[in-house]
Structure 1
Amino acid sequence: MSIQYKITPHHIAAHLFAVELTIEQPDAAGQIVHLPSWIPGSYLLREFAKHIVSIEAESAGVRVPLTKLDKSSWQAAAVAAPLRVTYQVYAFDLSVRGAYLDHERGFFNGTSVFLAVAGQEDQPCGLTIVPSQNNAWKVATSMPAQQVDAAGFGQYLAQNYDDLIDHPVEMSDFSQVEFMAAGVPHRIIIAGRHQADLPRLAHDLQKICEYQIQFFATPAPFKDYLFLTLAVGEGYGGLEHRASTALICNRSDLPWAHETEIKDGYRQFLGLCSHEYFHSWNVKRIKPAAYAPYDLSQENYSRLLWAFEGITSYYDDLCLLRAGLITPQSYLDLLSQTITSVERGYGRLVQNLEDASFDTWIKYYRPDENSPNALVSYYTKGALFALCLDLTIRQATQQQKSLDDVMRALWQEYGLNFETAGRGIAESEWETLAQRVTGVDLSDLFELGLRSTAPLPLQDLLADLDVVWQQRAADSAQDRGGWRANPAPSKLTLAAKTASDPLGVKLVNVMAAGAAEVAGLAAGDVLVAIEGLRVTASNLDVLLASAQGVDRSARALRVHAFRRDELFECQVTPISAVLDTVGLKMQAEFFNDSKATRKWLDV
């Protein structure tokens, strides 16, 4: 093997991995090595090289000078013998995107720890994972093993550098359970403290995995699959890989042995697993031409993220229903929450889906206090546009075609042979293929949904399927959407998202043209008094309600607030809360007789 890596939990208390890279045939002009600036699936330059705290090189026992070329590249002096580069990586990122090391566990993505060998990225890579001093630790990874011990420490093999960085590794005393789905071995490992009912988790995930494999048609695009899960007190996230996914969840969201129903947190976790698993087809193999191949040194721009993240977000919850894990009403509740999350952002009137996809590098992954006014999520609005596409196609073809057919055609034409052909889908090809496969002229819908900020025709499309749409005001700060039999009346509001603060109530986001903005208040301001009375998170609604007169109109209130360390006074006239909360309900008397609805939901 001409390229060999070895990684060791070197100094656990300092959170340092030690990495050795041996290059048997270095570039005669001086070998360049470089580290990615971002990780596929998370579209932000994260500059992983900043975590390399020391680096040196040697050849034939003699130290070799290294010259840093830029933020993430080094060049060794020319040598005639094999070159060995050794370096230490600081690893204390608990997310699914980076690397982590402490006395409880070690975890890493290859993008955080493995320097690429310039000019030899296509060569096979050997990896040796060295055990720590903690004898209870085991290794979990989807990378093919070559020679490992019972705990999984030892030698692994990657086809090339791209393969090397697409198999995250967990090292800890994790628990695990295995199952088969469509003849493919699957494994779930859970690191962190938890009381999860593993057999139930395996039973439920098996249904999701089998449904998705059959959806795209066997065989699956992997020989085995691994769910790498970290259970924490508070956290949520996932990142897809070619034969695995890295997940983080609240330990309370996992199913417990005494539970029989699917609680909200567990439903959310299953949706996360479904989302990342669906990516095995849609983005890992069916992918934009801009990502074929990835250039991990800089931004890779595409206007198609709505199709890869948005459509995946549409199918993730729908697969829970089609796999028989949740009821149609439970699915509509989840859909209500997605619609509500889009409705509550003024940015939906400012940014379209193509721009949201293109600007993800500077906007979506870098949210600030004005983000709700300036951007829309290609995940959530993309999911709603996918729903519009699906229902429009079904309606136009009398249920003979659907978005399902488009996804299967994409798999056959772009995904199935991606490993050998490496062809991504060009920016305009997605729309062309969808219209060719379905025989439906979708050009107007594409213009509306992708290149304008006009409202999507969701309400009308759902009404055709006997789904009742309820538009109401939120009944509390915890209200994420969903049907209410008796909606609460609209309250007076500042049109701002707030949080408790030691001094009073802090404005986190101030909505465009709302009461707070009109009064001159800004995100970061801390309200300390309204009409001379102290403000707290618990009495804010009561104080705002005092502005309402007998004729239902609102009067101005005297507000004292701090901006940084400066106290100021302003007049605020609260407004009625916007009807930005959606609830959906199936007309039960029509459901059993509605073939169109049952075919859409596949129940």
Structure 2
Amino acid sequence: MVKKFYFVIILTSQGYIMKLSYLLEMESPETHFFRVTMTIEDYSEDNMSVTMPAWTPGSYEIMDFARHVRKIKAAALTGENIELSKKDKSTWKVANGEFRDVKITYEVFAHDLSVHTSHLDSSHGYLNGTNIFLYIEGYKDQTAELIIKPWGDWKISTGLEKVGDFRYRATNFDILVDSPIEIGNHRSLFFNVEGKEHEIVLYGHGNENEEKIKADIHKTVEAYLKIFGHLPYKRYVFIFHLLSEEDSGGGLEHLNSTTIDVDRFTFAPFESYKKFLSVVSHEYFHLWNVKRIRPAELGPFNYKEENYTSMLWMAEGFTNYYGRMMLLRSGLLTQKDFLKNFMETVRFYEMQPGRLITSAYESSFDAWIKLYRPGPNNFNSYISYYTKGDMLGFLLNVRMIEATKGQKSLDDLYRHLFDKYNKDGKGYTEKDLLLAIREVTGTDFTDFYARFVKSTDPIDFQSELEKLGISIKKGFRNAEEFPEGSPYLGSIFRNGSRNTVETVIEGSPAFKSGLSPGDEVVAINGYRFSDRFLKPIREDYKKLKVEKLTDFRSGETVRIHLFRKGILMDIETKLEDPIPDLYEAVIRDAPTERQKLFLDKFLKG
């Protein structure tokens, strides 16, 4: 039996010492219900409101986790029932009156295995605190203790501070819910850097090589340590869920841990494995960028509604940029592969009309309604702050190197921001960021910010790369067989969707002909439409495909046979000249001394 322990925390304004604890149980994991008992002692007020968050930090989407709560009850510790009523979609009012010691019990249905939700079945339990734990309104700063009663012989892995067997402590609600928990018979691998323990949690099996994963993540951690000179945590936990290809993937950052969901067979060949390493690098860099160096709006959190910020292009986009860069610096990616991956991102960026419609500033602010709730016209009107921010990370790095004649880079900006904003926990504003860049470089970047962050000025990649002694060569894949590429149609399909059009690129032949999102293409010129006519939209992305019409010629008029809302239709369109689907970085044979200096700073920081 687990013995309860309550930790004394803060004084209320009336002088009471309030104690708060949560007991987490999973008596029948196959039913997918976590049971939570929330105990409050010495509460000083006559009424209480408790709330379940509506979203989880790092995933800017309202998910209304309260919809999974049931059987919620309140009682005094002496046994009397206490009236409890719903205040709004996420909040309950507790009429505790004269009772100062209150117990709230409830169940949470957890059957969604993703990085931002919770899951419980007979194989394991995984939880994000935002999905599971209520908080007392007005008391999010309250220290709390968590007692976990695992099923059977299951073990527990989490970044929370351990204070005893199955007992953990969080200094406030933000810390409690920012510490995901894996409970089960998972495997744990350990390594140390700077005398600090790192745990790798593996749930599931696939084609993984445990020792290689551990060695490669070790290298990644050491590479980041070289930038900052110190690891700002006592212990770090990597939680990896090895799932089927059909399951949702992705990663989510936390203060001293991360959760990453991947295809269980992603660990070989290397082309697949490096995508996994890139996600690991991305999420690990978040422990600085977002968790300790953050936009002012991202903390303290309002868990009931959207928390708007215009700075996600830096918070997420720059993290994308570093995720790739640090694989190079850790020796896990060759310079050739690094440049190949970067150029593929540039190509993908330039094929999106939305880059010239939506600024990085706007993209960030609209994350709640556009990135996580994409419409069929997103490709034309919106661009992800991940992608646009990635490109701005490159651009700012090059411009900082240029402004300081090769002496300073983006690394220096992050070291400066960490020193300046991590100590007091305050976030930065736009003005703060511009001031920091000026302090590092001695140059005013206000015009840069206005043109490339708040507006949609195109980036001249050829001109910027030339500063590093690199030029862009544009061409076509499979040029040996199809030297002129595939004629351009401009339709995008979602993989595995019965050849249903996901979106149509504005201004393309498909757009001009009236091909529409939702159309199911069944044939072209009478020939059955199949994977023969499709190719991935980018090398490292399986979900979206574009047409590959190598059987036709530019200028040719083709008839597209399709179903629209169950009605068979034909439309005609004239194919246009192909657009390059391959960008290659070519390094100068004889770069100038300035170019050599700049490239070295760009690659090594």
Query: What SS does the aligned partner of 2:323 have?
Result: helix
* Aligned residue runs from structure 1 range 543-554, under 5 A: 548=553, 553-554=555-556
Q: 1:525 aligns with which of 519, 522, 528?
A: 519
Partner residue of 2:110 out of 65, 80, 91: 91
Distance 1:356 1:581, change over 3 A: farther
Report SS of the residue matched to 2:224. Answer: helix
Does the residue aligned with 1:559 lie in a helix, a strand or coil?
strand
Partner of 1:151: none
For residue 24 of structure 2, what is the aligned residue in structure 1? Answer: 7
Contact kept? 2:360, 2:385, Cα under 8 Å: yes
1:206-225 CA-partner distances (Å, limit 9, x unpaired): 1211221231122x210111
1:37 aligns with 2:48: no
Q: Does the residue aligned with 2:371 lie in a helix, a strand or coil? A: coil
AA aligned to 2:467 is D
2:74 aligned with 1:57, yes or no? yes
**Residue 116 of structure 1 is aligned with which of 117, 131, 135?**
135
- Given the superposition, is the C-alpha separation of residues 601 and 546 from structure 1 closer, same or farther in structure 2, using an over 3 Å criterion? closer
Q: CA 1:581/1:378 → structure 2, altered by over 3 Å: closer, same or farther?
A: farther
Instruction: Select which of 187, 191, 198 maps to 1:186.
Output: 198
Aligned partners of 2:520 and 2:562 also within 8 Å: yes
Q: Is residue 2:543 matched to residue 1:559? A: no
Which residue of structure 1 lines up, in the alignment, with residue 15 of structure 2?
none
Structure 2 equivalent of residue 461 of structure 1: 464
Partner of residue 300 from structure 1, selected from 297, 307, 316: 307
2:544 is matched with which residue?
A: none
- The AA in structure 2 aligned to 1:71 is K
Instruction: Measure the CA separation in 1 of the matches of 2:75 and 2:202.
Output: 39
Distance 1:238 1:566, change over 3 A: same
User: In 2, distance between residues paired with 1:70 and 1:283?
Assistant: 30
1:493 Cα deviation after fit: 3.2
Please tell me whether residue 575 in structure 1 is matched to residue 576 in structure 2. Answer: yes
Residue 361 (structure 1) shift? 0.9
Q: Aligned pair 1:249/2:267, yes or no?
A: no
- Runs of 4+, deviation exceeding 6 Å: 484-487, 540-543
Secondary structure of 2:358's aligned partner: coil
Counterparts of 2:550 and 2:219 in 1: how far apart (Å)? 49
Deviations 1:58-111 (A, max 9, x none): 112122221100010001112414111111111111110010011111100110
Instruction: Give me the CA root mean square deviation.
Output: 2.3
Whichever residue aligns with residue 281 of structure 1, its letter is: W
Other structure's SS at 1:97 match: coil
Q: Distance in 2 between matches of 1:487 and 1:599?
A: 38
Q: Which residue of 1 aligns with 2:156?
A: 139
Structure 2 CA distance for partners of 1:544 and 1:280, relative to 1, 3 Å: closer
> 3-state DSSP class of the match of 2:26?
strand
Which deviations, in whole Å up to 9, do the C-alpha atoms of 1:130-154 show, x marking residues without a partner?
A: 1114x3x211001011111xxxxx1
1:411 aligns with 2:411: no
1:4 partner SS: strand
Say how many residue pairs are matched. Answer: 572
Give 1:237's aligned amino acid: G
Q: How has the CA–CA distance of structure 1 residues 501 and 599 changed in structure 2, closer, same or farther, with 3 Å as cutoff?
A: closer
Question: Please, which moves more after superposition, 355-364 or 192-201?
Answer: 192-201
Q: Distance in 2 between matches of 1:267 and 1:501?
A: 24
Which of 147, 152, 173 is equivalent to 2:185?
A: 173
1:355 counterpart SS class: helix
SS in 2 for 1:366: coil
Provide the C-alpha distance between the structure 1 equivalents of 2:209 and 2:28, rounded to a whole number of angstroms.
34
Give 1:591 deviation, angstroms. 10
Alignment deviations for residues 217-260 of structure 1 (CA, whole Å, 9 cap, x no partner)? 22x210111101111122531111111111111222236xxxxx
Residue of structure 2 equivalent to 1:232: 243
Deviation at 1:590, TM superposition (A): 5.0
Deviations 1:431-467 (A, max 9, x none): 2211222112323322221122221132212122222
Matched with 2:11 is none
1:145 aligned counterpart, secondary structure: strand
Distance 1:190 1:114 in 2: 25
Q: Within 2, Cα distance between the matches of 1:572 and 1:486? A: 25
Closer, same or farther in 2 for the Cα pair 1:229/1:591, shift >3 Å? farther
Judge conservation of contact 2:409–2:601 (CA < 8 Å) in 1: no
CA distance in 2, matches of 1:485, 1:413: 54
- Give, in angstroms, the shift of residue 559 of structure 1: 2.8
- Once the two structures are TM-superposed, the CA of residue 531 in structure 1 deviates from its matched residue by 3.0
2:173 match = 161
Tell me whether 1:319 sits opposite 2:326 in the alignment: yes
Kindly indicate whether residue 455 of structure 2 is the aligned counterpart of residue 452 of structure 1: yes
Is the CA contact (8 Å cut-off) linking 1:5 and 1:21 kept in structure 2? yes
Between the aligned partners of 1:96 and 1:485, the Cα distance in structure 2 is 42
Alignment of 1:264 onto 2:271: yes
* Residue number among 428, 438, 463 corresponding to 1:435 in the alignment: 438
Q: Structure 1 residue 267: deviation in Å?
A: 1.2
Q: CA deviation at 1:118?
A: 1.8
Tell me if structure 2 keeps the 8 A contact 1:92–1:99.
yes
Find out whether 1:290 has 2:297 as its counterpart.
yes
Equivalent residue number for residue 67 of structure 1 = 85
Q: What are the ranges of 5 or more consecutive residues in structure 1 without an aligned counterpart? A: 149-153, 256-261, 476-483
For 1:192-212, what per-residue CA distance to the aligned partner results, in whole angstroms no more than 9, with x for missing partners? 123422222222111211221
Partner of 2:406, secondary structure, is coil
Q: Distance in 1 between matches of 2:573 and 2:183?
A: 55
Residue number in structure 1 paired with 2:234:
223
Cα separation, 1, equivalents of 2:579 and 2:328: 31
Given residue 598 of structure 2, which amino acid in structure 1 is its aligned partner?
Answer: A
User: What is the alpha-carbon distance in structure 2 between the residues aligned to residue 449 and residue 9 of structure 1?
Assistant: 51
**Distance (Å, rounded) in 2 between the aligned partners of 1:434 and 1:199:** 40
Q: Deviations over 1:159-216 (max 9, x none)?
A: 1111111110001211121111122211111111234222222221112112212311
Residue matched to 1:388? 395
- Match of 1:221, SS state, is coil
Amino acid of the residue matched to residue 64 of structure 1?
Answer: I
The residue type equivalent to 1:537 in the other structure is D
The 1:364/1:500 distance shift into structure 2, 3 A limit, reads closer
- Cα 1:143–1:488 change in 2 (3 A) is farther
1:82 aligns with 2:101: yes
Classify the secondary structure of the residue corresponding to 1:70: coil
> Normalized against structure 2, the TM-score is what?
0.90
* Larger deviation, residues 317-326 vs 571-580: 571-580
Q: Choose the corresponding residue for 2:352, options 336, 345, 350.
A: 345
Shift of 1:588: 5.8
Native 8 Å contact 1:126 1:157 kept in 2: yes
Tell me how far 1:581 sits from its aligned partner: 4.0
Report the CA distance between 1:598 and its aligned residue.
2.1
- Contact 1:94–1:100 (CA<8 Å) still a contact in 2? yes
Q: Report percent identity of matched pairs.
A: 33
Is 1:213 aligned to residue 213 of structure 2? no
* 1:393–1:402 CA contact under 8 A, matched in 2: yes
